A and B are shown apart, each in its own frame.
Chain A
Amino acid sequence: MKMIGNEIQIKGIVASIDRDNIDTDQIIPTEYLKSIKKFGFEDYLFDGWRYLDEGKLGISKSQRKINQDFVLNQEPFTQANILLTRDNFGCGSSREHAVWALRDFGIRVVIASSFGDIFYNNCFKNGVLPIRLSKDQIESIFCAEVKEMSISLDSRTIEFNDTEQYAFDVEDNLLERIVLGLDDVDMTLKYAEDIKLFENKRRKEKPWIYADE
């Protein structure tokens, strides 16, 4: 992410996957969920499509049989930082590893016509921006075979082919979290007194919730 004046711009290469309902098992298979780390998932992104052999946690890309037909194995998309896809991206499991794998590969923006709810939330905790566009807009980007794109977080627009521009919508606070990299726990603990008051009241009114303590 680059600051240009007041603008925050993400510019780069767009990799496209023309499928609906890409679930988090495709983004990263369960095998790699055995890691107890929060980083180092780049080689496992889209593992089932990216490789021709079966992988294991700890086996790196150089030891694998590469599927040359898959977009992320083709130049210039090995350097992609924007992913374009269709409907309901990130449906299925709640695994945050899916976002970690995208982030570790270098994907900063995912553009789709809709997202799985849990995946959408997880993105903002890890500096990945999910952008929703209409199905028609997605269709025209696919048709135009866009390979490069510029995204302005300030004006909330994406630009491609020099002239085309689409506006997108994202909640202020979520975007701010990405731009500033804020930590939710620190922010919430500022309200510790409110939480305590609420909890004490609840303990009196609904004692059965706390009965097993």
Chain B
Amino acid sequence: MPSTLYDKLWNEHHIKTLDSGESLIYIDRQYLHEVTSPQAFEGLTKKDLKPWRLGANIATPDHNVPTERGRSFTVENIDDNISKIQVVELDKNCNKFGIKQFDITSSNQGIVHVIGPELGYTLPGMTIVCGDSHTSTHGAFGCLAMGIGTSEVEHVLATQTLKVSKLLNMRVVFQGKPQQGVSSKDIVLYLIGKIGTAGGNGHAIEFSGNYIENISMEARMTICNMAIEAGAKVGLIAPDTTTIEYVKKHSSLSDNDLTVAQNHWNKLSSDTDAIFDKEIIIDVSNIKPQVTWGTSPEMVVDYDATLPDLNSDIQANKKNIELAKQYMGIEEGQKLTDLKFDRVFIGSCTNSRIEDLREAAIAIKGKKVSETITEAIVVPGSGMVKAQAESEGLDKIFQDAGFIWRDPGCSMCLGMNPDQLKPYERCASTSNRNFEGRQGNLGRTHLMSPLMAAHTAINGVIGELL
């Protein structure tokens, strides 16, 4: 019977079907961070258990870490005592159980979904979990990767397995060549606008088509990262030569291991006659840069479009639209391009990789951040991205323009560290969620690509560079 890539990964990791009808699935890799792991470690301790396979686990603190650190910064320098406790707890647990951690002082510390692939811990065909919904990012390597809750983090630590039911298969085919200035962030936001934030519920989404074949691993990671914003906890892209070149560069596998592995990785794709429960074909050639206007990623439009109003013919519940407009401080008849911005954030597990930073830096080279922008920050996703960017002089370009260049972390994607919006501040953000309060109490988030965020920093408003 023809199978999809998801079916193949599922079968390869399937240990047994349980009496309950669920399946026991073997987990190759677990990433851990400070927020969703302490209760899992506590559970392990209470049961007097050890991690099943130590080497499967890789940890790093990212959500709570301040991004203004400098060289001699240690965990003791975290001002927020409650944040500090959580980071210290991760140190303690990793030491106690012997788990490999890139701690706050490590040059490889960073956002867990950025460091995993770049340090070669994410390999094609793996099952990967993390107590973080953006684990779908790793699906860009043809991994069955998904976010899990803390109880499941404990379960994977203790048993190296997950007890799950199989998802349905969905395929999104992206065809065509995008217009200049349209990035993978725009493409995935466009998709979410079309199918909604519940569009992928219950499904694993495989992304394919000649658009996907032609883009880099960084761009693919952005797309799989946002699969969860379309409701799919699993996003997938079949490994190809682009994937294998990336892995060769980043992993420390021996030539022998690589040769054997490659034979296997080449088989990881959906059969041509595989059947998907849902299929969507999208022509990317007409997609314009996308910017969200509301409080859900599905509330997204062309950057220059008129915003939906009570008379517009859209599916969404009108009450939801009104609530979102009210929260976002958008008046009837206003366009996105009419809004004045206060802050700009370039970073997060969606868009903090080297390619994202290059794209933004090239656009703003020699220009200045608008006087109406109170703060524009660039937060590289990892120590490695930061070092690479600095070796290319990108930090200098950003700083000359008036951006602030920070240390790696989740930063302003979510309000857990000092980088937060003040009430009613409007932010051009390359992150993944525009939920109410996500970037700080009463803050207003507009999601967009790194290029559009860079333009917004210079113009003070959304639109092409003036």
Contacts and interface: CB of A to CB of B under 8 A. Distances in A.
Contact of B253 (A20, A35, A199, A211): A211
B28 interface: yes
Contacts of B414: 25, 30
B198 A184 contact: no
Contacts of B270: none
B82 A58 contact: yes
B149 A94 contact: yes
B38 A36 contact: yes
Contact of B231 (A116, A188, A210): A116
Q: Is the interface of B mostly helix, strand, loop or mixed?
A: loop
Contacts of A19: 319-320, 323
A114 B198 CA distance: 8
A133 B412 CA distance: 37
Interface string B167-208: 100000000000000000000000000001110011000000
A180 interface: no
A38 B161 contact: no
A184 B155 contact: yes
A96 interface: yes
B141 interface: no
Interface string B254-278: 1001101100100000000000000
B126 interface: yes
Interface stretch (B14-22, B107-115, B331-339, B393-401): B14-22
Contacts of B258: 208
Contacts of A48: 436-437, 441
Interface string A167-184: 000011100100000001
Nearest to B416: A30
Contact of B201 (A88, A94, A172): A88
A25 to B, nearest CB: 4
A188 B151 contact: no
Contact of A199 (B160, B198, B296): B160
Interface string A33-49: 11111100000000010
B433 A195 contact: no
Interface stretch (A4-12, A62-70, A118-126, A151-159): A118-126
B86 interface: yes
Interface in B239-258: 252-254, 257-258
A180 to B, nearest CB: 12
B47 interface: yes
B154 interface: yes
Nearest to B262: A208
B296 A23 contact: yes
B149 A25 contact: no
A96 B37 CA distance: 11
Contacts of B24: 188, 191, 194-195
A173 B20 CA distance: 5
B253 to A, nearest CB: 5
B233 interface: yes
A212 B86 contact: no
A171 B197 CA distance: 24
Interface residues of B, number: 90
Nearest to A186: B47
Given A88-B231, A94-B147, A171 B252 contact: no
B287 interface: no
Contacts of B133: 92-94, 118
A60 to B, nearest CB: 15
A206 B131 contact: no
B74 interface: no
B380 to A, nearest CB: 21
Interface string A76-101: 00000000001110011111100100
A114 B24 CA distance: 25
Contact of B233 (A36, A117, A184, A210): A117
Nearest to B100: A212
Contacts of A26: 435-437
Given A92-B433, A208-B261, A188 B415 contact: no
Contacts of A191: 15-16, 18, 24, 161
Contact of B416 (A34, A192, A211): A34
Contacts of B415: 29-31
B258 to A, nearest CB: 7
A95 B36 contact: yes
Interface string B19-38: 01110101010000001101
Contact of A25 (B254, B298, B319, B438): B438
Contacts of A211: 252-254, 257
B317 A23 contact: no
16 contacts: A19-B320, A25-B433, A29-B415, A33-B36, A33-B63, A37-B39, A94-B131, A96-B150, A114-B201, A116-B201, A116-B231, A185-B154, A186-B47, A188-B161, A191-B16, A209-B126
> Top 8 nearest A-B pairs by Cβ distance?
A173-B20, A213-B55, A96-B149, A36-B38, A94-B147, A122-B149, A125-B151, A88-B198
Given A19-B319, A30-B416, A186-B47, 8 more contacts: A21-B198, A29-B441, A54-B423, A58-B82, A121-B148, A184-B163, A191-B16, A208-B253
